Structure 1
């Protein structure tokens, strides 16, 4: 009957979990966030423009730049043509910039002609505003009409006798800040040269929605394959690639590869250990079932709450696997090896108190995570807390249906349990000297490490660029020399017009910065689309200077009447950020104009070729609605601030656990239990300090996980003091599986995973070695 009820219970439990997951997936589309960008919090100084900064960052992080170079220009052209044709039809790429066709130049010329009254620039307008403004415009026009090297289009002379359209076109081609000083137009291609080779420039954007990290079918697989084939087809060709996607792809690909083989080996070893100990399929299958149900419930609840799950949530969420394994191991070790040979319900009674207390204290740790001002931490906390609750319910309510196990033979597991029992007997007899020696040893080791401890999360230290990609980036920066840096400005306003007017005020300070050699140039939306107010003022200046002079000028040059010019003045209309722009502007303007986000409007301003980075923040002084962004140090500071908050939360959580244990046990026992995870946290911090490793966000996340593990070890030793051998075997198995599951991650070269794994390894080992001190015997 019990067997029948067991299978019915398992079936119902499985159906409930699967139904939860199906409903969650039906309610929201499947979406695993793999963007490395979204792991990062918004810097505290950027709360006002956090959404705009994130949107701008996502746009710039999709940009790919490729340089194809050869000593022979024609060979470089042929190779670049082949590369472009290979990738041109890929739907995952957009805004491909390669050939600058005559049609594209004609489109820019046509656009600047139609909007010439709005796009003349400060220098020309200031000259028109002078007393000799009309004469200045005449001289400029005559030089363009009769100059020996003039390339101006003369087909609109009656409508545009002063060739204002030609001036605007030249401003956006020959003098545009969009072009690097080293890029020039040759045979319809953007080219640059170094001392030996000529390079053809090719760029594109990865479409929004494409995966942020490496995976099967990733667009960068095709890009890298095309580069490899290009080098084979054209001997002597040089290819340089640049852009954030290449770094994200390479780092995530290496990390996935490492984590896959490390996890595979650790899981195989853990399963082999469990098989060797239990020598029966039931405990192992039941443990795997518990883990599966925990993961399903965690996915369902987190999916329903957030609408997506981040990749790093899944990495951290594997803590539920480690802890739910502990629950199952404790249950089945007692079930299999206890001398009393209990059935499932009797086993549950014996371990119930330890499980409940361990679960409660671990959940407190996850609740502490959810308090931190970091959305990803809240998602990680909910995922882990939900999965752990499911694992507990599986252990308590389903496993109790198991009948008594067959008597265990005196095999390796039994002998090992007996050896552990003898060892801990010795441990217990020496408990008073150990109580003095161990704290003294811990202090001796901890104090030097804690003194040297550096609580800091520096993004630069979390990612190491490969030599090949570093060389490629260096060559690309040397040849193209765009001058982009990690610093920029965001302008916020109540409307599009408000943003442009604020930007124009700020641009005056940028011009001064340019004169003071803070930077060489800058990119701003108002260069391409002045504010409505500015356009109207410029048009008034043009009209005042030229309207009365046009008839005489046209007559003197025998170019006809001024009727068409007067008509063009009457048809003036201002341009707006929502208008359609020439194709070669699109990519840049999408980055510069962020548009409406919620109830506000935003734009971005980029300094180019920065020479004095320390002066950049000062430029926003006195400029309303302008925010300086220096993402890497600001986010590093935010992560460091969050790390400090997490340390405080860990301390508060330990205090709450201590308070909970006092009425359950007594003050003395509560102290014995809580000192184990506290000592483990101190051990992790001190070893990081001695090793000179930053005690960063990921290390502290590992300490939080260790907190839950250490409490479980302490509680089970306290509750299992009268059957030390079985308890010691269960704890030894739990520690071994945890070390195999997480400690091996410390071998990863991907720094966040390496630090996370190292923290768990040190903390788990410390908890395992110290937890026998909590045992009390009758």
Structure 2
């Protein structure tokens, strides 16, 4: 065996390993690219509480899916909802449907709080107990007893004669506009009546395999609902829908960029060489480059992001350069009677310089704190390295002298290149330079920076419309903007929540927000529970208080007073957060409690109905409060993007300097000519974006 064939055989072994590894990834491990946009962003958060809170909120949100099935008639809406659920019911491995509301479940929901009725008050009730006279409470109780419109009644009148517990339950119900109706969840907008169906994903929302299984199932369920009743509206919102749309768009872009680049290479190579062998060799180097990039990325990052594949699809256009360079020089070397190995020795310095300068550029991206950019840089750099090594190890063996034929296209192109483009100082060149400078100045002057993280996603219009409609109907809080409340103990957290809520209540009156969700709405701190218990006893139940006056008005004796007083005060030990969270009634609010973390306890206070104008006010509301922190993850990530945008500007500048230094030993004072096309292309791109890419 010739010594020259040893490198080729070695590379053949490497390629076999790459093929085996990629087969394992795609066939055995069922590799599915990641579509989570947040996975591309830097993890700059060092605060374990903040990191856990954000992860907690995002994980909770991304596994939920809300579907509204509506019609102008409630029965039709129910019939359509049944048809929708019938399609989903057999697929419990994908989606879990919440059980229907029953009278028993509502009773169980109230049972926990009925035991604590003497400690559960709204701020308005507390104020009234301090300010209103005894007769006010007597009149309130009589109104509840005799008037059919005396307010909500939960249980017997004597269990809650003053309506405190009923009003507290009503206040808690105002945290969501959704109401139980005929065993379903209901919401209406004046025209349409909707059945609300909360669904829980049992598969990862950002898994493309899950998206490919869930989204068609939801479409099938939607069609079934529309067949079941006329004029049915189905409104859906959930992270998986956005992830699926982004994945579909990215897959399309991979196909367009990859196939477009491949087709262009094939056509140009055919026009140039009029032979299939050069085409096969170029595509071979590109293919091995992609295989190597995938394997290395998986070994380093343990996953592949979908946008890495989109970015890597452009690798095809760059990886073919080395093969094309060798082919063109092989064609020219025929006249010098050089064999392919002699030609390789002549070309290796230039090929190595081309590879190193390109990889240096990608190293700048690999050194950034962006996981997404690092993965893209590693994919591209190793893709080019594997394509380059394929040219070095295989092309001399697979392509001998005299293989390529001279064609008219090659002769014409070579003749043109001797005359154009040449940089001459004449009127035409001056006009081109002036036009370019004018375009660059105008474009760059209009260039604006936009660091908003939301610009990274461009979902279909129907998803945005559904999200807007659902947010308007449900008045749900955002998972990206909230308060974190910390304390040494769980009760300290509840106390600090209560202090924060005192600052938020005026914002509701000013309509800067529509409300808030907090565990302390359901479980007051032990201090507050004790104070309320004492307040009720003093203001309503003392010997000469409203209860005694009420008994006299309705003709009841001391035994009746004692019995009512005993029922109102016979609560068990103070309600705790742990006790509440163990109860089924806490399920919609469990995501607000972080529990023990970083040597203390923490919770989340979520805000409803916020808008951009109110964000500074919400941030100021936490000022000066111990253990309370406002979190605006959208703004924070956007500011991080802005900071690293500036950082990347320096990375690009340093990359230009480093590449200039690498090229200078070979090209000397003419090095600027080598970098000028790249620099001018960068300026032209920025100018084009400034002039045409801003609305």
TM-score between the two structures when normalised by the length of structure 2: 0.83
Counterpart for residue 685 of structure 1: 686
Counterpart for residue 643 of structure 2: 641
d(CA) in 2 for partners of 1:660, 1:598: 49
Offset, 1:355: 1.8
Counterpart for residue 230 of structure 1: 225
d(CA) in 2 for partners of 1:472, 1:102: 31
CA contact (8 A) 1:452 1:692 kept: no
Distance 1:194 1:500, change over 3 A: closer
Distance 1:627 1:310, change over 3 A: farther
Distance 1:693 1:280, change over 3 A: same
d(CA) in 1 for partners of 2:22, 2:303: 13
| Structure 2 residues not aligned, in runs of 5+ | none
Counterpart for residue 604 of structure 2: 604
CA contact (8 A) 2:308 2:372 kept: yes
Distance 1:528 1:26, change over 3 A: farther
CA contact (8 A) 1:241 1:472 kept: yes
d(CA) in 2 for partners of 1:540, 1:196: 47
CA contact (8 A) 2:519 2:577 kept: no
Distance 1:506 1:256, change over 3 A: same
Distance 1:30 1:579, change over 3 A: farther
Distance 1:377 1:186, change over 3 A: same
How big is each residue's C-alpha offset from its partner over 1:683-735, in whole Å with a ceiling of 9 and x where there is no partner?
Answer: 111122222448xxxxxxxxxxxxxxxxxxxxxxxxxxxxxxxxxxxxxxxxx
Offset, 1:257: 3.7
Counterpart for residue 748 of structure 1: none
Distance 1:338 1:416, change over 3 A: farther
How big is each residue's C-alpha offset from its partner over 1:81-127, in whole Å with a ceiling of 9 and x where there is no partner?
Answer: 22223324433555644732212201111121244455444445566
How big is each residue's C-alpha offset from its partner over 1:238-272, in whole Å with a ceiling of 9 and x where there is no partner?
Answer: 22334444344334434434543564354344334
1:746-757 equivalence runs, <5 A: none
CA contact (8 A) 2:366 2:377 kept: yes
CA contact (8 A) 1:36 1:212 kept: no
Counterpart of 2:265 (choices 267, 270, 274) is 270
d(CA) in 2 for partners of 1:641, 1:17: 38
CA contact (8 A) 2:489 2:601 kept: yes
CA contact (8 A) 1:214 1:249 kept: no
SS in 1 for 2:84: helix
Counterpart of 1:482 (choices 467, 475, 483) is 475
How big is each residue's C-alpha offset from its partner over 1:434-486, in whole Å with a ceiling of 9 and x where there is no partner?
Answer: 886665443233122111222324455555554544554454455x2526468
Deviating more after overlay: 578-587 vs 230-239: 578-587
SS in 2 for 1:616: helix
Distance 1:76 1:675, change over 3 A: same
Structure 1 residue 389 corresponds to structure 2 residue 391: no
d(CA) in 1 for partners of 2:351, 2:636: 42
Counterpart for residue 256 of structure 1: 251
Counterpart of 1:372 (choices 332, 355, 368) is 368
Structure 1 residue 405 corresponds to structure 2 residue 416: no
Structure 1 residue 503 corresponds to structure 2 residue 477: no
SS in 2 for 1:83: helix
d(CA) in 2 for partners of 1:349, 1:51: 56
d(CA) in 2 for partners of 1:107, 1:336: 85
d(CA) in 2 for partners of 1:420, 1:426: 10
CA contact (8 A) 2:68 2:196 kept: yes
CA contact (8 A) 2:485 2:604 kept: no
Counterpart for residue 67 of structure 1: 68
Counterpart of 2:657 (choices 655, 660, 670) is 655
Offset, 1:320: 3.5
Distance 1:372 1:459, change over 3 A: same
Counterpart for residue 182 of structure 2: 187
Offset, 1:509: 0.6
d(CA) in 2 for partners of 1:678, 1:328: 25
Distance 1:600 1:309, change over 3 A: farther
Structure 1 residue 219 corresponds to structure 2 residue 214: yes
Counterpart for residue 672 of structure 2: 671
CA contact (8 A) 1:492 1:600 kept: no
CA contact (8 A) 2:251 2:310 kept: no
CA contact (8 A) 1:43 1:634 kept: no
Offset, 1:319: 4.1
Offset, 1:422: 1.5
Distance 1:430 1:30, change over 3 A: closer
1:189-588 equivalence runs, <5 A: 189-207=184-202, 209-211=204-206, 217-257=212-252, 259-261=254-256, 263-339=258-334, 340=336, 342-402=338-398, 404-411=400-407, 415-427=408-420, 431=424, 433=426, 439-459=433-453, 461-464=455-458, 466-477=460-471, 480-482=473-475, 484=477, 488-493=481-486, 495=488, 497=490, 498-535=492-529, 537-538=531-532, 556-558=558-560, 568-569=570-571, 571-577=572-578, 579-583=580-584, 585-587=586-588
Distance 1:499 1:15, change over 3 A: farther
How big is each residue's C-alpha offset from its partner over 1:578-625, in whole Å with a ceiling of 9 and x where there is no partner?
Answer: 7545545413x1432344566675433233234752533322222234
CA contact (8 A) 2:25 2:31 kept: no
Q: How large is the Cα RMSD of the aligned pairs?
A: 4.2
SS in 1 for 2:484: strand
Deviating more after overlay: 573-582 vs 669-678: 573-582
Counterpart for residue 628 of structure 1: 630
CA contact (8 A) 1:488 1:604 kept: no
